[in-house]
Amino acid sequence: MTMSKLALVSAFLILIILIILIIPGSNDENIDHIFLITIDTLRADHMGCYNYSIDTSPFIDKLAGKGVLFENAFTQSSTTSPSHASIFTGLYPSQHRVLANGYRLDDSFVTLAEILKKNGYKTAAFTSTDRHFLSGNINQGFEKYDEPEDTQNEFGFKYRPARFTIDKSIAWISNFRKEKKMLIWIHLFDPHLPYNPPETHIKKMADPTLKDKLDKITENRAINYEIFNNSKEKYFEEVLKYNAEISYVDSELQRLFKFAEKSGIANNALWIITGDHGEGLGQHNWLGHAKLIYQEQIHVPLIFYSAGHIKPKRVRSVVENSSIFSTVIDICGITMPDEKGNSVLTKSIKDLIFKNGDKSSHEFAFSERQYYGHRIAEKKLPAWQTEWENGKKYSIQNISFKLIYNKGVREPNEFYNLSEDPFELKSEISNRKYFKIKNLLRKELFARLKIFKESKRIKAKKVDSETIKKLKSLGYIN
Ligand SMILES: [Zn+2]
C-alpha cells in the first residue's frame, strides 16, 4: 500500500470512528413507536406469566413469552399518583414530591413525555381516571391528553372501563401517520376497587376447580378473613372478581394490539407493560393498597416486547419500574438532559433487555409510603396496625432480603428473608445471623434518604381549588 493510500484509509477509519463518537444518540434498536401500558392495581403474582395457576392474562402471557419479563420488578410507591410520577420522571416520590394522590408534580420536573416530544415524538395519553394525572400535572409533555368525562364511581371520581380508553386510543392511532415517531401511554384502571368486571369475564374465571386452586395459592398468605366478614366464600368471591378484572383488561389489550398490528404501527414498536402497584387482598390485614409496602402491594409486572427486536428471556435481577424513564430514553438514543443527570437514581435497564444474560448492577429496589388517609378502611384495622398510620415507610430489597424502616423509630425495624419467607410474615430484625446483609441494606437505604434531604427544596404541593377551577375553565374537568 502506498503512503497516500494508507493516509486515505486512515482518514476514512478516523472519520468512521468520529461519526460513531459524535452520534451517541442514534436509535440503534430502530424502535419508533413506544406503547407504555400502566395497569392500575395489578399484582404480578396474579398473572400466568408470573406463575399464577389461574388463567387471568393469556394475551399478556403470550407477549411476555416472546419478550423480556422481569421477574422481580418493584414499584416505588403503592399509591397511583406517586408511582406514575416516578415512572415519568425516573425519580423516587421523595424527590419528585408527589407524595400521595392529590399532590401536584412541579413544572420544574422534566418528564419522559417532554423529553420525547422535544426529540420529535408525537405524544398522546389515554387514562381511565380523572383524579390523578391532569390535576396532578403528571400529563406534562403529552400533546394529546384524554381522560374520562363521565361515569362517576363510588369513590367520587370519574373513571372509565378499559373498553372506552382503548376505543379512544385506537381512534387516535387510526389518524396517526406511522412514518412519525410516537409515545402513547395508556392507563387502565379496572383491577382497582370496586371490582366490577363484565359478567363474561366472571364466567371465564369461575371454573369448577377455582376454589381448590385458590385454597392452595393462598394457604401461606396469612389472609385476614375478618376483612371479608369472616367468610372464606366472600374472600373467594372478591378474588374471583379481581381476577376477572385482570382478564377483562387482558382482552382489551389484545384488541388494541391486534389493531396496532393491522395498521402497521406494530413494526418498530416497543410495548412496555407494567402496574403502578399491587393489592393487599387480605394480606397484612389489608384489602386494597396505598397503605403498606409489603410485596403484595409493590411487586408489579414489567414486560418489554418488540417484534423482531427483542429476544425472549426472563430476567431475575431486581429492578425498579421507574427505570422505564431512563430505559426508554436510552433505547430511543436520546441524550439525557444535563439537569437530570445526577438526580435520577433509577438507571436504564436497556442492556438487560437487549443483551444476553441477566447480570446487573441494579441489585436493589426502593419503595416508600408517605401518607395514607383512608379513614373508613382504617377502622377495620387492629391497633398495632394503625399506630404507624401517619408515619413514613421506606423499604429496600435485593433478590433475597428486605429491610423496612417505619419512620418514628430510630432504626429500620423490619427485616425479612424473602427466600424463606416470601409473604413477609416473620420479621428477623433481631436475628444476628443477618447482621451483614442488614447493614448493607441499611447503608443503601440511608444513602437514598440523605439524597432526599436535598429534594425538600421543592415544596410538596397539593392540588388546590384554584387549580381545579382553572382546569375547569379550560374545559379539562367537567
Ligand atoms: Zn393505582
CA 433 to ligand 1 center in whole angstroms: 37
How many angstroms does the Cα of residue 192 sit away from the middle of ligand 1?
7
Q: Helix (H, G, I), strand (E, B), or coil: what is residue 138?
A: coil
pLDDT tens, residue by residue, 158-194 = 889 999 999 999 999 999 887 799 999 999 999 999 9
Give residue 79 CA to ligand 1 midpoint distance, Å: 6
Residue 8 included in any domain: no
**3, pLDDT greater than 60:** no
Same domain, yes or no, for 211 and 339? yes
- 368, 392, 411 — which closes off a domain? 368
Q: How far is the CA of 263 from the centre of ligand 1 (A)?
A: 30
C-alpha 278 – ligand 1 centre gap (Å): 8
Distance 310 CA to ligand 1 centre (A): 28
Same domain, 340 and 374: no
Cα 71 to ligand 1 centre (Å): 20
Q: How many whole angstroms from 189 Cα to the centroid of ligand 1?
A: 7
Pairing of strands 461-462, 103-104: antiparallel
d(CA 257, CA 261): 6
Element (H, E) at 394: strand 393-397
Q: How far is CA 455 from CA 84, 225, 332, 394, 449, in A?
A: 18, 41, 28, 16, 10
| pLDDT value of position 156 | 65
- Does residue 56 share a domain with residue 197? yes
- Looking at the fold, whether 344 and 380 belong to one and the same domain comes out as no
Chain mean pLDDT for the chain = 87
Is residue 238 assigned to a domain?
Answer: yes
| Same domain membership, residue 229 and residue 137 | yes
Residue 258 has pLDDT above 80, yes or no: yes
Between the CA of 277 and the centroid of ligand 1 the distance, in Å, is 6
pTM of the model as a whole: 0.89
What is the per-residue pLDDT across 281-337, written as a single tens digit (0 to 9) for each? 999 988 888 889 999 999 999 999 999 889 999 999 999 999 999 999 999 999 887
Q: How far is the CA of 44 from the centre of ligand 1 (A)?
A: 14
13 inside domain = no
Per the domain annotation, does 344 fall within a domain? yes
Give me the CATH number covering residue 385: 3.30.1120
Q: Does residue 337 sit in the same domain as residue 207?
A: yes
Predicted confidence (pLDDT) at residue 478 exceeds the cutoff of 50: no
Least confident of 21-30, 148-157, 165-174, 301-310: 21-30
**Least confident range of 141-145, 146-150, 161-165, 335-339:** 335-339
Distance 85 CA to ligand 1 centre (A): 11
Average pLDDT over residues 444-466: 82
Please give the distance, rounded to the nearest whole angstrom, from the Cα atom of residue 271 to the centre of ligand 1. Answer: 20
Instruction: Give residue 398 CA to ligand 1 midpoint distance, Å.
Output: 24
Question: What mean pLDDT comes out for the span 1-19?
Answer: 50
Ligand 1 centroid – CA 209 distance (Å) = 30
Q: How far, in Å, is the centroid of ligand 1 from the Cα of 276?
A: 5
| Per-residue confidence (pLDDT) for residue 30, from 0 to 100 | 82
**Whole-number pLDDT of residue 469:** 57
Taking 80 as the threshold, does the pLDDT of residue 26 lie above it?
no
Q: Report the separation in Å between the CA atom of 113 and the middle of ligand 1, taken as the mean of its atom positions.
A: 20
Mark whether 326 and 428 lie in a shared domain.
no
301: CA distance to ligand 1 center in Å? Answer: 14
**DSSP annotation string for 61-111:** HHHHHHSEEEEEEE-SBSSHHHHHHHHHHS--HHHH---STTEE--TTSPP
For residue 163, the CA-to-ligand 1 centroid distance in Å is 18
- Return the C-alpha torsion angle 406, 78, 328, 22, nearest 10: -20
In this structure, the answer to whether residues 377 and 430 fall within a common structural domain is yes
Residues whose CB is less than 8 angstroms from the CB of residue 51 and which lie 6 or more positions away in sequence, other chains included: 45
pLDDT band at 14 (very low <50, low <70, confident <90, very high): very low
**C-beta separation of 116 from 183 below 8 A:** yes
Tell how far the Cα of 80 is from the centroid of ligand 1, in angstroms. Answer: 3
Residue range 413-423: mean pLDDT, rounded = 97
What pLDDT digit, counting tens, does each position of 75-85 carry?
Answer: 999 999 999 99
Output the CA 259–ligand 1 centroid distance in Å.
Answer: 26
Which CATH number goes with the domain that contains 340? Answer: 3.40.720.10
60 — phi, psi (to 5°)? -60, -35
Per residue in 191-224, pLDDT (tens digit) is: 999 999 999 999 999 988 888 999 999 889 999 9
Q: Is residue 23 part of a domain?
A: no
Residue 475 lies in a domain: no
Using alpha carbons, list the distances in angstroms from residue 432 to 404, 415, 428, 439, 444. 17, 11, 9, 11, 19
| Residue 421 CA, ligand 1 centroid: distance in Å | 26
Neighbour-count burial of 313, counting CB atoms closer than 10 A to its CB (0-12 exposed, 13-18 middle, 19+ buried) = middle
Q: Compute the distance from residue 187 Cα to the ligand 1 centre, in Å.
A: 10
- CA 436 – ligand 1 centroid, Å: 35
- Ligand 1 centroid – CA 121 distance (Å): 26
25 Cα to the center of ligand 1, angstroms:
33
391 pLDDT tier (thresholds 50, 70, 90) = confident
Taking 60 as the threshold, does the pLDDT of residue 361 lie above it?
no
> Residue 212's pLDDT is what?
92
CA of 193 to the centre of ligand 1 (A): 10
- Per-residue model confidence (pLDDT) at position 19: 41
d(CA 148, CA 41): 18
Q: What is the pLDDT of residue 23?
A: 39
Distance 29 CA to ligand 1 centre (A): 31
**Cα of 383 from ligand 1 centre, angstroms:** 26
Among the candidates 368, 389, 404, a domain finishes at 368
Residue 436 — φ and ψ, nearest 5°?
A: -65, -50
Domain carrying residue 455: 369-462
Say yes or no to pLDDT of 9 above 90.
no
Does the structure show a pLDDT above 90 at 245?
yes
Using the mean position of ligand 1's atoms as its centre, give its distance from the Cα of residue 40 in Å.
4
Does any domain span residue 478? no
Lowest mean per-residue pLDDT among 106-110, 232-236, 295-299, 385-389: 385-389
Q: How far is the CA of 359 from the centre of ligand 1 (A)?
A: 30
In a domain, 93, yes or no: yes
263 with 328, same domain: the answer is yes
Residues 382 and 252 in one domain: no
**Do 250 and 198 belong to one domain?**
yes
| Per-residue confidence (pLDDT) for residue 20, from 0 to 100 | 39
Residues 75 and 206 in one domain: yes
Distance (Å) from CA 322 to ligand 1 centroid: 14
Query: pLDDT value at position 15?
Result: 44
Report the number of distinct structural domains present in the chain: 2
Distance 11 CA to ligand 1 centre (A): 56
Dist. CA 129 → ligand 1 center (Å) = 10
For 5-19, 262-276, 406-420, 435-449, which range has the lowest pLDDT when averaged over its residues? 5-19
Last residue of a domain, one of 334, 368, 402: 368
How many angstroms separate the alpha carbon of residue 42 from the centre of ligand 1? 9
